[in-house]
Chains A and B, each alone.
Chain A
Amino acid sequence: MAEEKYVLVEHLSSIFDLIKKIDNVENTEEVIKILQEKDTRKTFFKMLASSLRIYYLGLDSIFIASKIDFEKLNISATENIHVKNFSWVLDPKYQKDSYLTILKMNLINDCWICFESSLRDINYKCNIENGEPKIYSLYTNKLFNANTKFLYFFSCCRNAMHNNSIHTKEDYEYILNGKSFKLEKGKKIEFITDQVILEMVEKLSDVALDMWKNLNNPCLISDRYNVI
């Protein structure tokens, strides 16, 4: 148990470091610095960091519930029920069967939404593809010169959540940070560990930054959510 707590704290620190790194992209990358505040390419990094914060807070509640002695607190009966329920997250069965899995699934989905939304904002303004293109057709457009192999891999991991985590397309392999990840048709995706999920989000941030650089468009590309 002591080892598990240690791993959780370490994982929380890794998430927090990644949040800071992504938050800091606009201060370190010239290409983002010159964009206006409401530009979707800038908003993307803010949204990505926000998605990570939600994941972080979900895990942080396990850490907090394990550290604070809520029994000693003086609280009304109406409120006390919610204080007691805070310890749900300490139940190893609930953690394993549901809580941690859904937190990860939601993070993958939230990050993909950030990416897809920004890409659609860019298409809305720059008319890269006519009509309402599939997201695959957008990110494979030569204008972005994107790492399409990674994006396809990420999108498959995200889309599997609509099929009980089962990969429904043809077999696919992607090497991320020197490690091989195989998506096999009809099989459940089970390789998304604490470490892998952070590597995936970090890579998404890097890949998107490269795409925005390759687009090389200094004009304001508004975040449509804020303007409609």
Chain B
Amino acid sequence: MDQIMYQKKVLDLISEVSKETSKFYAQMANVLRLYYIGLNNIFITKKILKNINYSTIQLSDEEKRHLENTGWLLDDNYLNDVYLPALKTNLILDAWLTFKSNGKTVSSKEEGFLGWYETLVASLNNDSLGTSDKEMEIGGEKFKISKNGKVDFITPEVVLSLVNKIIEIYKEN
């Protein structure tokens, strides 16, 4: 999926979540906004800042440096090895903290997913190496965390479906 389409998808989820009024939804919308802004920084840098003639804007040397530093996002190695994985990891963690801090009692079926998600968070906090063996089926697809194996299934689509699932569980309980 192209980046603009993906950002639109994140935006749609933010709109959906923002329709609800409780603290959980407000916090979740903010967590998603942070993710969206992180992605949007890439778009803005590649599409706009790259082509701006900075000499037309009145800036001190110190300020110019901060405009130029967004160029880090033009480096594909930095983008793919560091920036994008960190955005996804932080979204997964922040969504988890939002869910936990708004405490809900859930059914045993959902405890299975939440236990798996907790292991996922612990694994991502462990240099993306699985902390225990756990498998979960989401939307017909199986996601396996293996102890000491690299967690490498967190695509942009997967991260949104995980957050969606957390929102669904909150809504249904």
Q: Give residues in A with beta carbon < 8 Å to B.
A: 9, 12-13, 16, 50-51, 53-54, 56-58, 60-61, 63-64, 67-68, 70, 73, 75, 78-79, 81-83, 85-86, 88-89, 94, 97-99, 102-103, 105-106, 109-110, 113, 116-117, 120-121, 161-164, 223-225, 228
List 7 contacting pairs A-B, 8 Å CB cutoff, sorted by A.
A53-B83, A54-B86, A68-B49, A75-B47, A79-B43, A109-B90, A121-B127
**Residue-wise interface mask of B (2-25) relative to A, using a CB-CB cutoff of 8 A (1 in contact, 0 not):** 001001100100000000000000
Interface size class of B (residues with CB under 8 A): 35 or more
CB distance from B91 to the nearest CB of A (A): 10
Contact A99 B38 (CB under 8 A): no
Contact A88 B33 (CB under 8 A): yes
Contact B86 A85 (CB under 8 A): no
Which residue on chain A has the smallest CB distance to residue B58? A67
Which residue on chain A has the smallest CB distance to residue B52? A68
* A85 cross-chain contacts in B, Cβ below 8 A: 11, 36-37, 40
Q: Beyond A64-B49, A68-B57, is A224–B83 a contact (Cβ under 8 Å)?
A: no
Interface of A is mostly: helix
Contact B125 A116 (CB under 8 A): yes
Q: A49 to B133, alpha carbons, bound, how many Å? A: 31
Q: A97 to B33, alpha carbons, bound, how many Å? A: 13
Q: Give residues in B with beta carbon < 8 Å to A.
A: 4, 7-8, 11, 27, 30-31, 33-34, 36-38, 40-41, 43-44, 47-49, 52, 57, 59, 62-63, 65-67, 69-70, 72-73, 78, 82-83, 86-87, 90, 93-94, 97, 100-101, 125-129, 148-150
* B47 cross-chain contacts in A, Cβ below 8 A: 75, 79
Q: Beyond A113-B125, A225-B129, is A79–B4 a contact (Cβ under 8 Å)?
A: yes
Which residue on chain B has the smallest CB distance to residue A8? B66
Which residue on chain B has the smallest CB distance to residue A70? B48
* A105 cross-chain contacts in B, Cβ below 8 A: 94
Contact B34 A225 (CB under 8 A): no
Contact B33 A98 (CB under 8 A): yes
* A73 cross-chain contacts in B, Cβ below 8 A: 48
Contact A120 B37 (CB under 8 A): no
8 Å CB contact of B11 from A81, A83, A110, A163: A81
Contact B44 A83 (CB under 8 A): yes
Contact A113 B40 (CB under 8 A): no
Which residue on chain A has the smallest CB distance to residue B150? A228
CB distance from A51 to the nearest CB of B (A): 8
* A121 cross-chain contacts in B, Cβ below 8 A: 127
Contact B127 A224 (CB under 8 A): yes
Which 6 residue pairs spanning A and B have beta carbons closest together? A117-B127, A98-B30, A50-B82, A225-B127, A106-B90, A12-B66
